[in-house]
Structure 1
Amino acid sequence: MGDRNRVTVGVLGSYGGRNVGDEAILTALLDRIRAGRPDVHFVVFSRNPEHSRGAHPDVEVVGWEGVCRERISEHLRRLSVLVLGGGGILYNTEARRYLRLVRTAMDDGVPVFTYALGAGPLTDEADCAWVRATLSDAAEVTVRDEESKLVLEEAGLTRPISVTADPALLLRPGDGGEALLRAEAVPAGLPLVGMSVREPGRAAEHLDEEGYHQLLANVGDFLVHRLDAHVVFVPMERDDIRHAHAVVSHMADADRCTVLRGAYRPQEVLDMVKQLDLAIGMRLHFLIFAALAGIPLLPLPYAGKVFDFAQQIGAPALRGVVRETAGLLLAEVDRLWDERPARAAHTAARTAVMQMRAAGTAERLLAYLDRTAPRPHDDSPEPTVASPAG
């Protein structure tokens, strides 16, 4: 057992899965809470402890998949609070896996704070029942977008839900992007357009694989012919590399493309996105990185979370990634390029607003910690009750 007087915050999410977006969420979350409470000791519950220890050598990492309840309880009982999230972890068949661990924490007397969660699709009744039974008892429930709030409400959750924004919006960029792109043999002196693709699956259950491969190949060829551009595919998960190559295989100008292959930290991916002139993509966090980089972006929504982000950022968004949208999509790409200075300025203003909302999640958690675990040398009287926020 650890020091009972130490403030220990557990963080549970889809961490260790080698998804750049999830790792960006964790990086930004840890940085923001550390800035407000340097005394906090973090315990990250990871799907791949070895990967998480390498990425975050300054935090304690615990594996949780395939571990029995008794062993997990030993770690949970040390916590001052368990933070669930952020990111899109509450969807069909997956939600119950996370919420079982959350319920174990609650049964051990550990309060739970949900941190800018993403939810949906969530229609399986077993998962909906876990949501109702577990999140009803959380100290506070915050979600990253209106779509996730609606999904939780439709699942039957009746308690107050606060909408903030994705934690990755607070990721801080560096300046190493140009060198990283040169190392990947991306040519200098040409317009660079980034593209992001993803696999079909439970989070993208309506995606037509063959259709969107051909559609994006048409877009890639258009970018080469219309803009004399070089197309850079930016994988956010390792399997994205395969789908990027599938798109390239349909292109007439495949030699004008680069599929990034390196294993990069979130900040490194953000730094490379900063070197692009335009971003077109499916992955939510690729689009968030484009917004942070201040470049014009065109979302290709395959799910509500991407469409919601497009609306909030003020970007054009087609309602489906299908063959029938090819003409409209090419017209949007053409318009976006011609209007990119104005679009970039508009995106920057909207991004700043979303960053303030993302910071609000951290402020809520810090306020909760201040109520329940006062800072060292704090002479103010301790509260007798840790009242959950509304």
Structure 2
Amino acid sequence: MHVVISGYYGFGNTGDEAILLSIIQALKKVMPSIQITALSHTPEQTATSFQVQSVNRWNFRDIKRVIKASDGLISGGGSLLQDSTSIKTVPYYIGLIHIARWYKKPTFVYAQGIGPFRYKISKWLVQKTLRHVNYITIRDQNSQQLLQQLSIQQPMQLVPDPVLGLVTTATNPTIKKQPYIIVSVRPWKDAKSYLSKMATYLDQMVAKGFNIVFLPMHDKTDEMTAKQIAAFMKEKSEMISNLSLEEKVAIIKDATLVIGVRLHALVFAAITNVPFIALSYDPKIEAFANQCQMPLIGHISNDDWQAKNLLQQTNKILAELHKYKATLKQKTDIYQMQALDTAKLVLQTFKS
């Protein structure tokens, strides 16, 4: 069997690269002989890193060729069908589904987060197109409710984020000082006050004896925000960049706590049983924190939280660290099995 996978791959975003690796691992575990072609911004790098075939996501001649020769298109995972990052995002991924439909190839929506939509045209395009896919799996209840509001009647299932099934054996390459807290942040409009609040909280954690380590998930853009917070801090902090996906997982595994805005920093914490505190910029963060029964402190754009709230929640976790770790292990053990079931569902759908 030969499948084509589309997503936000090849842009250096650790979360999206983790999604691709997780899907590839799951598909190969279910069917070792499967052929996989990933659409990527940097196809040569993707082919080398993931040991799959890859074509340029902007070369529609090659895209048509590989979809035509395939047994089906996997759309996902991640948050592909939304327009909060760009109004061009939805037309691109919808266009790929229509290419598959033109060649009469089945399409499987893989563990996606749907929405939010700022523009009516985006919502209309998603509504019209998803009525023609073969199977839809979504990763959170908000996405499920949105599709129900759009009257999507296709076979649909709620599944875990694919990265919850990720298997990695990398070891911590750099950090030797214990204990430390991992901080994963990202830039966000109208959220300047959160930088100083984070700095105040992190200074307090240094006073408690913790080392602060900024770990960018999207190296260049996240580094800038981390440097801004570090500049507000009175105490010293550390930032580690240019690591492989698996090395980032390993560094998180040895941490005491993760403070995260990026979704997949939180997912990496979950799969390594490291308690986390989430700071939201998108409903997917709130949904995941709720799934794992981990605390959500607020939204980065709002002023309804302060450094003291982060400190209070941290003290609560540190006082019951074993309980929080046990909760995460219980949840993620289940999610790992369910993540593999999504891959099985893809193959069943394409075979039928």
Same structural fold, with TM-score higher than 0.5 when normalized by the shorter chain: yes
CA apart distance, 1:26: 0.7
**Identity across the alignment (%):** 27
Q: What CA distance in whole angstroms lies between the structure 2 residues aligned with 1:155 and 1:41?
A: 34
Give the SS at the match of 1:193.
Answer: strand
Equivalent residue for 2:40? 46
Q: Structure 1 residue aligned with 2:110, among 111, 115, 118?
A: 115
Q: 1:258 aligns with which of 220, 238, 256?
A: 238
Instruction: Give me the whole-angstrom Cα distance separating, in 2, the residues matched to 1:265 and 1:112.
Output: 31
1:287 and 2:278 are equivalent in the alignment: no
2 CA distance for matches of 1:162 and 1:49? 31
Q: Is the 8 A contact 1:174 1:268 kept in 2?
A: no
Contact 1:193 1:231 in 2 (8 A): yes
Aligned to 1:376: none
Q: Measure the CA separation in 2 of the matches of 1:329 and 1:299.
A: 10
1:269-302 alpha-carbon deviations (Å, 9 max, x no partner) = 1111111111111111100111111111111122
The whole-number CA distance in structure 2 between the counterparts of 1:95 and 1:278 is 35
Structure 2 residue aligned with 1:365: 346
1:243 and 2:240 are equivalent in the alignment? no
Q: Deviations over 1:44-81 (max 9, x none)?
A: 1112213312312x21101122x34x443222100101
Q: Secondary structure at the match of 1:121?
A: coil
Partner SS state of residue 123, structure 2? helix
Q: How many residues are matched?
A: 345
Correspondence 1:88 to 2:79: yes
Secondary structure of residue in 1 paired with 2:132? coil
Pairing partner for 1:73 from 43, 46, 64: 64
TM-score (norm 2): 0.93
Task: Choose 83-92 or 122-131, whichever is displaced more.
Answer: 122-131
Secondary structure of 1:357's partner? Answer: helix
Q: Aligned pair 1:216/2:198, yes or no? A: yes
Residue of structure 2 equivalent to 1:349: 330
Amino acid at match of 1:261: S
Partner of 2:181: 193
**Which structure has the larger Rg?**
1
Confirm whether residue 59 of structure 1 aligns to residue 52 of structure 2.
Answer: yes
Letter in 1 for 2:53: E
Map residues 1-390 of structure 1 onto 2, 5 A cutoff.
7-56=1-50, 58-65=51-58, 67-68=59-60, 70-92=61-83, 93=87, 94-177=89-172, 180-182=173-175, 187-188=176-177, 190-200=178-188, 207-225=189-207, 227-238=208-219, 239-253=221-235, 255=236, 257-262=237-242, 264-321=243-300, 322-326=302-306, 327-369=308-350, 372=351, 386=352
The CA deviation at 1:155 is: 4.3
Q: Is the 8 A contact 1:24 1:168 kept in 2?
A: yes
Distance, in Å, in 2 between the alignment partners of 1:208 and 1:222 is: 25
**Within 1, Cα distance between the matches of 2:132 and 2:193?**
43
CA 133–273 in structure 1, closer or farther in 2 if over 3 Å, else same: same
Partners of 2:216 and 2:185 in 1: CA distance: 7
Deviations 1:310-351 (A, max 9, x none): 111011112322444113222112211222111111121122
CA separation in 2, counterparts of 1:304 and 1:335?
A: 24
Cross-structure match for 1:377: none
Distance in 1 separating the partners of 2:246 and 2:74:
23
Amino acid at match of 1:292: I
TM value normalised by structure 1: 0.84
Displacement of 1:231 in angstroms is: 0.6
C-alpha RMSD of matched pairs (Å): 1.6
Alpha-carbon distance in 2 for matches of 1:218, 1:34:
46
CA displacement at 1:175 relative to structure 2: 4.3
The residue type equivalent to 2:348 in the other structure is A
The one-letter code matched in structure 1 to 2:185 is V
Residues in 2 aligned to 1:325 and 1:171: alpha-carbon distance in whole angstroms: 33
Give the AA of the match of 1:62: V
CA distance in 2, matches of 1:122, 1:170: 28
Distance change in 2, residues 1:171/1:71 (3 Å): closer
